[in-house]
A and B are shown apart, each in its own frame.
Chain A
Amino acid sequence: MDYDFIVAGGGLVGSSISYGLAQQKYKVAVLDGGDRSFRASRGNFGLVWVQGKGWDFAPYAQWTGRAASLWPEFVDKLFGETGVVVDYQRSGGMHFCLNEEEWNEREQEMKKVSQHTEGSFEYEMLDHNQVKETIPQISDAVLGASYSAQDGHVNPLYLLQALQQGMDCHKVHYFPNQSIDRIESKQGGFFAHSTQGALSAEKIVLCAGLNNRRLGEMLGMNIPVVVDRGQIMITERLQPFLNLPTLHVRQTAEGTVQIGYSHEDVGLDDGTSPSVLKKIASRAVLMFPFLARVQLVRAWGALRIMTPDHNPIYQQSADCPGAFTVTCHSGVTLAAMHAGPVAEWIGGSSRLDLINQFSTNRFNVSPN
C-alpha cells in the first residue's frame, strides 16, 4: 500500500483529519478537487459557534461544547507550527431575536443545551438595552438576543491555509485536481482512482462533502448528504465597529462585514438569487440601520454539507472496515475536534464513546 490513510477531500474537514492523522505519524495522502470544485470551506461564515447547537440532540450539544473548548490550544498549535494567523477570537457571540416569540423559543433552546451539557454550556438571554450596551449600533427592531461567551469567530480561509501548511509540516502528501472517481476495496486496503491514476492505502476517510454519498456507496456506507444552499454577502472595509459576531452579521479582522444566513433547497446550484440577497440585506439593515449606506463587494452562494437531522455523521463502514466518513456542515467549529479526538479515533489510538451517537444507524437505513 502507498499510504496508511487516504483522505478524500481537502477542505476544512479533510484537512483537519489529515493534520490529526499525520500527528500520529501516519503516512497520509489527501486527494482534493480542483480550483472550481464546490467547496463548502470557501463559502462559509467563519463562526466558531456553540450556542443553540444540539438543543434537540444532546450528544451534539456535548460534542460542540468539547470542540469549542479545544479551540484556543488548537489555534496556538497551528500558529506555532505554521506561523499562519487565523484571526480567531473567542469574543462571545449573539443571536438576535426580533420578536417575543423568537426570544422565548430561543430561550427554550438555550436551556435545553445547558441541560444536555449539565450546565457547562453557559448563556445569557439579553434584552434590548443589554444588547445595545455591547452593540450600540443596533436598531429598536432588535428585541433582544441570546449570548454565549463560548462563541467566537475565525477566518475560515486562513484556517484552511494553516491546516494545509500544518499538513505539509507533517509530510502529508496533498494531491489537488485529483477528485476520486471510484474506490476499490481489495488486497486488504483501498484503491482510489482519479483521472491522474490510482493511490492505495490501508484505510480511507471520506471527507469529500457533497461527494461523500457517492463515494460512500462504494464502501458499503449509506451517507445521506443533503444539499443546502446558503447565500452570503460581504461589504467594503469599514473601520472597526462590531467586536463580537452575530449569527447574521459579523465584522472580520480586515474590517469587512459579512452578512448572511439563508437556507434553500436548490440542488447543486451555488449561485445567488436577487430575492434572497434582498432578504438578507433587508434584515441586516433592519438590525443595523447605518449599514444601509455600506457598499457590497461580493455575494455568493455556498452548498452546505447537511445531513437529514443536521447533526454530523461519524461512521466506520461495517462492510469495509478501515473505511470511515466524517460528514458535517460545521467544519469550522468542529475543526479542533476533527484534528484531535476524531483523528485519534480514526487512527485507532483512542476510543471515543460519544462518537457512536453520530453513526448513520440513527437514520434507520440499511444496517451499516
Chain B
Amino acid sequence: METPRVTGNRIKEYLEQGKRFDGRKPDEFREISIETAVSEKAEGSARVKIGKTEVIVGIKLDVSEPYPDSPNEGKLMVTSELLPLSSPRFESGPPRFPAIELGRLIDRAVRESKFIEFEKLCIKKGEKVWSVFIDIYSINYDGNLIDAAGIGTLVALKQARLPKYDEKNEKVLFGEWTNKKLPLSKEIPIITTIHKIGNNLLVDPTLEEEDISEARITMGGTIDGTIFSIQKGNPKQINIEELYKILDLAEKTRKKVFTNIEKFLK
C-alpha cells in the first residue's frame, strides 16, 4: 500500500520543524553497510545496505569490437533490474521506467566522469576492446535505491580485476583472473539525490518519504565540486534559490558519503 496521505502530511509537518520520523536530520544518511565479493564469478561485486534498502552490483567484462567512432576505447553498459523479489510494488516483466532511469543515472555519472579509463581497455585498435558491464539489482526497496546503486557501482568497480585473455586464440578465459585491476581514474563520481518535500530538502529518503517527494535532483560529482551529471525527477518545480541550496547540500552530502565508503575505494 502506498503511504497514506495523512501520514504524508505528518511527515511534511515534522520536516517543517527540521525533523524526521526516524530521528534523523534532513541531511543525515541511514547506516551504510558494504560487503564485497558477493559473487565470486563476477569480476567485481558489492552489496550495499542503506538502512533496510539493499542493492547488489556486479561487474562483468568481455572482449568485443569497439564502436566505430572510438576505435581505441573500451565500452560501457549499465543495466538495472528492480527485482520483484525486492518489493510488492515491482512486477515481473520487462524493465519499466524506474529501472531504466536508475541504470541511466548511474551510466551518466560513470561515463561522463571518465572514471573508467577506456583508452587503457584497448587490446587491438579498431578490433578488440574490453567491454565493462555494470549490472545493478535491488534486493530490498525501502527508498533511495539510486544512491545505494551509486555506492555499489563504485565499490564493485574498485574491486574488479581483468579476466585472462588468450591473445593467440583471441578469447577471454572466463573464470580465470589476472591481478590487473580495472583502470580507474582518481576522479570518483559520487552519486547523491536530494529530495524536495514542501519547502524542505532532504537526503536518503525512506520509502514513506520517497512516496511524498515532490522533486528530486540526482547528481554525480567529486568531493572537490566537479559535477558530471544532473537529472531532475518528479513533477514539481524547484525555484532558483532552492536549486542553489541543493547544489550546496549535494556537495556536503558527497563529502559525507565519501568518508563513509572511503576504505572500500582505496
User: Do chains A and B interact in one complex?
Assistant: no
Residues of B within 8 A of A (CB): none
Residues of A within 8 A of B (CB): none
